[in-house]
Amino acid sequence: MTTKLALLLLFLATTCAQRNRVLTKEIQAKITNGYPAYEGKAPYAVGLRMNNGAVGAGSIIGNTWVLTAAHCLTTDSVTIHYGSNRAWNGQIQHTVNKDSFFRHPGFPNSAGHDIGLIRTPYVSFTNLINKIPLPKLSQQGERFENWWSVACGWGGMANGKLADWLQCMDVQIISNGECARTYGSVADTNMCTRSTDSKSACGGDSGGALVTHDNPIQVGVIVFASKGCKALPSGYTRVSDHLDWIREKSGIAY
């Protein structure tokens, strides 16, 4: 992993964004140039508020499991907000302590393993609260290049305030080779999306899901972006490369 990419990953690992913090131009935490989601667009999306003052996102993958970034689980507890596009105003809220956190053993010592799980109290599914399927075990070798996808999250705006409403962006998955032309190198277990029309993920969106448009499945977890969240590729942990670990910890497999 290059020093350049290591610094970007460190940037996001320390900006599962701090609530009420005034952000500099270099650490804006938002889906840049996205659009407000309609209610029910992403029923799998959950907002995370950590007891250390940070915020992030995750996705429902089962009645008792949330998938997120490992760097969002470096805290003692997290409150999960389900079922509302309005940030931190979930129809259901659960506070879960670190005994129910599972970070991939490769994090943070090797690139491409910034992925984690939260075991939660049981949540019933509705039209506003529902799981997102994962890739099938037979798709472990699929790179999903050129697939169109959507990423959503809650993050701070340029003035440092957090977005009140879920923001989404439609983006195309690119090859790691194309992504490496920006970042120098990209781990096989990471993936990237092209920044069309200056769309980008950023720090406060960490842990959110990248979901395919066709036959929706979650293929990525938001983990890195360019410094300043400029019009450059956004980076994700590749879910298809972590299916065995997810099955081992949660029992969820397709």
The tens digit of pLDDT for each residue in 115-152 reads: 999 999 999 999 999 999 999 999 999 999 999 999 99
| 114 among known catalytic residues | yes
What local confidence, expressed as pLDDT, does residue 232 receive? Answer: 87
181 or 202: whose pLDDT is higher?
A: 181
Taking the C-alpha atoms of residue 95 and residue 195, their distance in angstroms, rounded to an integer, is 35
Band (pLDDT 50/70/90 cuts) for residue 202 is low
For residues 92 and 123, the answer to whether their CB atoms sit within 8 Å is yes
For the chain, the 3-state helix, strand and coil shares in percent, each to the nearest 5, are 20, 30, 50
Which pTM does this prediction carry? Answer: 0.90
What local confidence, expressed as pLDDT, does residue 132 receive? Answer: 98
Radius of gyration of the chain (CA): 16
Q: Which residues are bridge partners to 239 per DSSP?
A: none
Mean pLDDT value of segment 7-21: 46
| 206 among known catalytic residues | yes
H or E element, residue 245: helix 243-250
Alpha carbon separation from 105 to 109, 144, 175, 181, 196 (Å, rounded): 9, 25, 26, 28, 34
For residues 49 and 81, the answer to whether their CB atoms sit within 8 Å is yes
Tell me which of 100, 195, 200, 206 is the catalytic residue: 206
| 3-class state of residue 239 by DSSP | helix
Angle formed at CA 19 by CA 50 and CA 80, multiple of 5 degrees: 35
What residue segments make up the domains of the chain, in order of their start?
1-19+26-254
Tell me which of 114, 234, 240, 241 is the catalytic residue: 114
| 3-class state of residue 16 by DSSP | coil
Band (pLDDT 50/70/90 cuts) for residue 161 is low
For residues 151 and 213, the answer to whether their CB atoms sit within 8 Å is no
pLDDT at 23 over 60: no
| 100 among known catalytic residues | no
Hey, how many other C-beta atoms are within 10 angstroms of the C-beta on 137?
12
Superfamily of domain 1-19+26-254: Trypsin-like serine proteases (2.40.10.10)
Residue-wise pLDDT for 95-115, tens only, equals 999 999 999 999 999 999 999
For residues 114 and 237, the answer to whether their CB atoms sit within 8 Å is yes
Arithmetic mean of pLDDT over the chain: 86
Band (pLDDT 50/70/90 cuts) for residue 154 is confident
